[in-house]
Structure 1
Amino acid sequence: MDKANPLQVGSLFSAARVLIVDDADSNVLLLTRILRAAGVTQVHGFTDPFAALSAYRELEPDAVLLDLHMPGMDGIELIGRLRASTSADGFVPLVVLMADVSAASKRRVLEAGANDFLVKPFDNLEVVLRVQNLLETRALHCRVQEHNLALRRNLARQIARERRVEEVRRLRTDRIRRVLLDDRLSMVYQPIRDLHAGTVVGFEALARIAELPQRPPDHWFREATEVGLGTELELRAVERGVCALESLPAEIFVTVNTSADVAITDALVECLAAVPAERVVVELTEHAHIEDYTRTIDALGLLRQQGVRIAVDDAGAGYSSLQHILMLRPDMVKLDRSLIAGINTDRAKRALTKSMVGFVAEIAAVLIAEGIEEPEELAVLRDLGVEWGQGYHLGRPAQLPAAATTATQRAPS
């Protein structure tokens, strides 16, 4: 707005729609000229209040200037009808045109719902400034309404998202509960062999879940953790896994997979209390980050006091730094399949594995190669001095009692 000329108020007036109602045609024409000179292009004048009321509903004006004394319908009644035609959260400023400037008359029009008044005869500058002020107030009101509408829409979207998330969580929780309650968790056992003698030294217990959607077991365990049932599902798998011990020769061990979070629970200690602990190996995956090594080491110490051995699983695939292994001091280190695949043609993998053979020997642990699928891989691992291994080439996972028969069979060369 050009402050040097208050009769020109720019875009505020150019976009405004103003309705004028006065039974005196001269007043309508005068106010129309004043407002148009100030920049209001959409001025609609009426001498009939009933026609003005109909136009109000169609035009949706930004301000109304109305006479107090009109035949057929006075300004007080028209104010009431205009307010009744305005939405509850709407705001259209009403300016009463009056010649009676007594305190009683002013109070009467303001109590009726008017926002301001103009005294006859009109002062051009006063007309412009009062209308300008009320249009600014309406513009602010409209912006607040738009902001509130945007907030309501955003809130509605957020509530809808939260409901969808909650529904997905409920469905996922129900899936995991079905697995737990309907006995849909079973175990298969993959042999772990002495790579030089070919004999079975142990089995890794692997979970299988008969529930839709069909997907790898680690997806089920991850989902269980996300819905707060991870510990329960892991412990159920451990419990099922160690049941195989009574069907296997006494010199054979069974490894069970747990997260670091489950490994530090008293529930795991209790779960393994009823089985020959010296035949149990707890595998900690290196994909999972350990927040508190001191607490984890203390918890593993309790398991070791029972005779349980500890293995670091997936070495080289996740957080598997040598520092991680040094902190946990495992009895076994399992090299991830990613380091074994194609080792017969990859000098870097052979060099890394050879260094791991020496490192593991220094910490008095056993190195186990996972995912041996080719005879050439097996041959290289033997040459490098890796003691134990597992993989499809050495034996596929199988349920009991089929897995038990594997315990007496030598591996292919």
Structure 2
Amino acid sequence: MIRRYMEKAKNVMQWGKILLPLSSIRFYPPQFILRNPVLEGVTAAFNNGHEVAVIVFNLKDTNEITDQLSQSQYTQLIKQIKKAFRKTIESQIAKLDVITLEDFYGDGLTLFIKVDDANHCLSEINMIMAKIIYSVEAILRQQFPILQPEFESGYMFVEKKNYSIMHSVESARRQAIAMAEKRIKSEWNEMVQTIKKIIFKKDIKLLAQPIIDVATKEVKAVEMLTRGPDGTVLESPLQLFSVARQTGLLYELELLVIEKVLEQVKATRCRQNIFVNCTPLTLSNIRFIGDLKIIMEKYKNISPLQITFEVTENDSIEGLKNFIYNIKMLRLMGYKIAMDDTGAGYSSLSIISEIMPDIIKIDRSVIQNIDKNSVKESMLQGLMLIAREAGSIVVAEGIENEAEASVLKRNNVDLAQGFFYARPAALVRM
């Protein structure tokens, strides 16, 4: 009688969650027939202009662990794993950025999070995964010292263009699982082959976005932006570079981008300064300077003085022993160095003091709605002071309206780019 009553009470509690706000069912939500928290959260994120990342965490060596534990002990382990992940995620990620953490697909957990900055978030995702795994493993090793649990992870972004958001969610989840498990004959291998094929066929396209003089509104430079094959999941740069990074092909892809940029500069006879994005991982590669010289041999009419390498993403340069050396070599060869995302990441200010960039690009998170936020304007002034001390030119990114542009003008910002001035388009001679 008591048991039946408890089961009935549990069912009532589960179904009662249908009426709860999404914020109350972020962690291990029940599977509803009438309501899908993941679909609801992803749809809301898309409607508010965010990207959504799907991160999968898998327990390594599950078979070995189950051999060492009884059924009740294994159940307790899973319970503690879920508890540790929730505790860690709540401490590491802003509450409003967590869509759901769920455990529906098997032994692993799936975390859905909102990502604000669609263009510069790959290193952020890697950093989040590493921090979560480190913290969870530390908690569990104290509780289960003999087992020493370890986790593997993978991620993917939910495609916005698909006709069905739920289909995109399940596809992203499946690909994230494949990335985490790196299974033989899995989607992981297919994605490796897809990236290799893109690189071999040079199947990318480039768009140019002008960088404008704030005072005169003249075009002073252009930034080259990469897109994957038309009509595919990898057309989005977010998907393209995240898959390349996780499959170990980021360096090859970024070299291809450099070659395609030079090819288009030559074809259009463009004389503007050109900004080319590169991650610290690529810039620190021991082969980079030699490979760049080989590429430049094909384009002898293009001067290194015309090219600015833009250090993208907020990767820590700690442990990247060739990074500073390669930056110095690039400068000796005549290239300029720009620092992207300044004001957004934990490492950008420290990198500025290390490399003293020629150009500092202020992240759009500082610029967005700056006309309505005096604190942001003070941040801009502080970053400009740092830039002046470093002898750097300032570029403000993400300008979307005249009000934001007017704040830049009154603060004597050098250059700016954004939809207010021009949208990305094919490179033409200027």
TM over 0.5: yes
The CA deviation at 1:286 is 3.7
Distance change (3 Å), C-alpha of 1:315 and 1:149: closer
Cα distance between partner residues in 2 of 1:310 and 1:293: 17
The CA deviation at 1:316 is: 1.8
Letter in 1 for 2:241: F
Using the aligned pairs only, state the percent identity. 28
What secondary structure does 1:235 align onto?
A: helix
Task: Give the corresponding residue for 2:303.
Answer: 276
Q: 1:163 to 1:337 in 2, by over 3 A?
A: closer
1:143-180, Cα deviation, whole Å (9 max, x unpaired): xxx959989xx9xx99x985747612201112212322
For 1:378, which of 397, 401, 405 is the aligned residue?
405
Q: Aligned partners of 1:147 and 1:200: how far apart in 2?
A: 66
Gaps of 5+ in 2: 1-65, 75-106, 109-176
2:212 to 172, 176, 193: 193
Aligned to 1:366: 393
User: Counterpart amino acid of 1:304?
Assistant: R
CA distance in 1 between counterparts of 2:185 and 2:326 reads 34
Is the CA contact 1:206–1:241 (under 8 Å) kept in the aligned structure 2?
no
- 1:272 to partner: Cα distance: 4.0
C-alpha displacement of 1:293? 5.9
Q: Which residue of 2 aligns with 1:226?
A: 246
1:216 to partner: Cα distance: 2.6
Q: CA RMSD in A?
A: 2.8
Q: Distance in 2 between matches of 1:233 and 1:387?
A: 32
Determine if the alignment matches structure 1 residue 245 to structure 2 residue 265: yes
Deviates more, 1:302-311 or 1:292-301: 292-301
Alignment correspondent of 1:350: 377
Q: Give the C-alpha shift of residue 328 in structure 1.
A: 1.4
Q: 1:177 to 1:249 in 2, by over 3 A?
A: closer
Identify the match of residue 426 of structure 2 among 390, 399, 404.
399
Question: Is the contact made by 1:269 and 1:303 (CA closer than 8 Å) also made in structure 2?
Answer: no
Match of 2:274 in 1: 254
- C-alpha separation in 2, matches of 1:237 and 1:269: 15
Letter in 1 for 2:281: D
Q: Output the CA distance in 2 between the equivalents of 1:328 and 1:365.
A: 11
Cα drift, residue 321 of structure 1: 4.2
CA shift, 1:355, in A, is 1.6
Q: Is the 8 A contact 2:212 2:220 kept in 1?
A: yes
Any conservation in 2 of the 1:286–1:312 contact (CA below 8 Å)? no
Q: Write the letter of the residue equivalent to 2:251.
A: T
Q: Distance in 1 between matches of 2:265 and 2:67?
A: 67
Q: Specify the alignment match of 2:120 in structure 1.
A: none
Deviations 1:178-215 (A, max 9, x none): 32233320101000011101111110010011152155
Q: Is the 8 A contact 1:311 1:331 kept in 2?
A: yes
How far 1:363 sits from its partner (Å)? 1.4
Q: Which amino acid aligns with 1:185?
A: I
Between the aligned partners of 1:256 and 1:175, the Cα distance in structure 2 is 24
Q: Secondary structure at the match of 2:205?
A: strand
Deviation at 1:230, TM superposition (A): 0.9
The CA distance in 1 between the partners of 2:409 and 2:68, in whole Å, is: 72
Q: Given residue 360 of structure 1, which amino acid in structure 2 is its aligned partner?
A: A
Structure 1 segment 312-351 matched on structure 2, within 5 A: 312-351=339-378
Question: Is contact 1:188-1:400 (8 Å) kept?
Answer: yes
In structure 2, what is the equivalent of residue 210 of structure 1? Answer: 229
How far apart are the structure 2 equivalents of 1:147 and 1:400? Answer: 60
Task: Give the length in aligned residue pairs.
Answer: 252
Equivalent residues of 1:190, 1:203 under 8 A apart: yes
State the Cα distance separating 1:304 from its structure 2 match.
Answer: 0.8
With structure 1 as the length reference, what TM-score do the two structures score?
Answer: 0.56
Shift, 1:262, TM fit: 1.2
| Offset from partner CA, 1:11-51 (integer Å, 9 cap, x none) | xxxxxxxxxxxxxxxxxxxxxxxxxxxxxxxxxxxxxxxxx
SS of the residue corresponding to residue 301 of structure 1 reads helix
**Equivalents in 1 of 2:321, 2:385: separation in Å?**
26
Alignment of 1:1-400 (within 5 A): 162=181, 164=183, 167-210=186-229, 212-214=232-234, 216-246=236-266, 247-250=268-271, 252-264=272-284, 265-266=288-289, 267-272=291-296, 274=299, 275-292=302-319, 295-400=322-427
* Cα distance in 2 between the residues matched to 1:238 and 1:337: 24
User: What is the one-letter code of the residue matched to 2:188?
Assistant: R
Structure with max Cα Rg: 1
Query: How big is the shift at 1:299?
Result: 0.6
Pairwise CA distance, 1:289? 2.0
Q: Which 4+ stretches in 1 moved above 4 angstroms? A: 146-151, 160-166
